[in-house]
Amino acid sequence: MKALGIVFSSRDNGNCSNAMKYCLNKMKDKGYETEALNIFQYEIEGCGKCNYICFNSGECLKKDDIPKLYKKCFDADKIIFAIPTFCGHLTSQYFKFWERSQSLFKDEIEYENTFLKKINLIIVGNLSSGADMAVHEALYSFINRSFYPEVILLSSEEYNTSSIKGDLVKSSEVKERLNNFIERIVSKG
């Protein structure tokens, strides 16, 4: 079994990266092969200036790292996204990654089975900055489906830590919540 973690933060030792490291170590303890990726180490173009050729041909005209990233997603059994919030929204890198999926799937069944059902979400942001709305943004792709990802919202304000220092995972309460998050992911079969 393989667990893939994708961090959508540009900070190597920020709260998203540290939460992902913690979770993947727990997955490794449970027998999973793990891999962590930072999205900022890959070239990703957003959709646009193509006249929706992907809808007609199934091919995207963009030449970047999206096919390589999605291949890693297809090969994984479990996927965890760690996404920070900026100004109460998910990062633009997350949206660029997500919107490019439309050229990769033949139909909704393939989309659900090879990608969506594997996804789980760590959202890092403060409620006073709209992080709760960012969770809703992340869940839009799962509307009207018979399943939802496991989701955890981590707020540094809630644990009296800094959103800048990357020390959120040092809290024993956060570790306990992440342990429960991993247990729910693994129990999904």
On the question of pLDDT at 184 being above 90, the answer is yes
Question: Mean pLDDT across the chain, nearest whole number?
Answer: 91
CA dist 72 and 62 (Å) reads 18
What number is the average pLDDT over the span 50-78? 88
Nearest to 118 by CA among 168, 55, 66, 70: 70
What number is the average pLDDT over the span 127-143? 90
Which of the four pLDDT bands, split at 50, 70 and 90, describes residue 130?
Answer: confident
Phi, psi for 44 (deg, rounded to 5): -135, 125
pLDDT in the model for residue 175: 97
User: In this predicted model, what pLDDT tens digit does every residue of 65-123 receive, in sequence order?
Assistant: 999 999 999 999 999 999 999 888 999 999 999 988 877 776 778 888 889 999 999 99
What number is the average pLDDT over the span 180-186? 98
pLDDT in the model for residue 5: 98
User: In this predicted model, what pLDDT tens digit does every residue of 149-174 receive, in sequence order?
Assistant: 999 999 999 988 878 888 999 999 99
Tokens standing for 41? 């180490």
pTM for this prediction? 0.94
User: In this predicted model, what pLDDT tens digit does every residue of 4-36 receive, in sequence order?
Assistant: 999 999 888 899 999 999 999 999 999 999 999
DSSP output for the chain: -EEEEEE--S-TTSHHHHHHHHHHHHHHHTT-EEEEEEGGGS--PPS-SSTTHHHHHS-----SSHHHHHHHHHH-SEEEEEEEEETTEE-HHHHHHHHGGGGT-SSHHHHHHHTGGGEEEEEE--GGGTHHHHHHHHHGGGTTSS----EEEE-GGGGT--TTTT-GGGSHHHHHHHHHHHHHHHHT-
Phi, psi for 147 (deg, rounded to 5): -150, 160
Question: 164-171 long-range contacts, Cβ below 8 Å, gap at least 24?
Answer: 166/11, 166/13, 166/14, 166/15, 166/17, 166/18, 167/15, 167/18, 168/15, 168/18, 168/19, 168/124, 169/15, 169/18, 169/19, 169/21, 169/22
Could you tell me which residue, 125 or 52, shows the higher pLDDT?
125
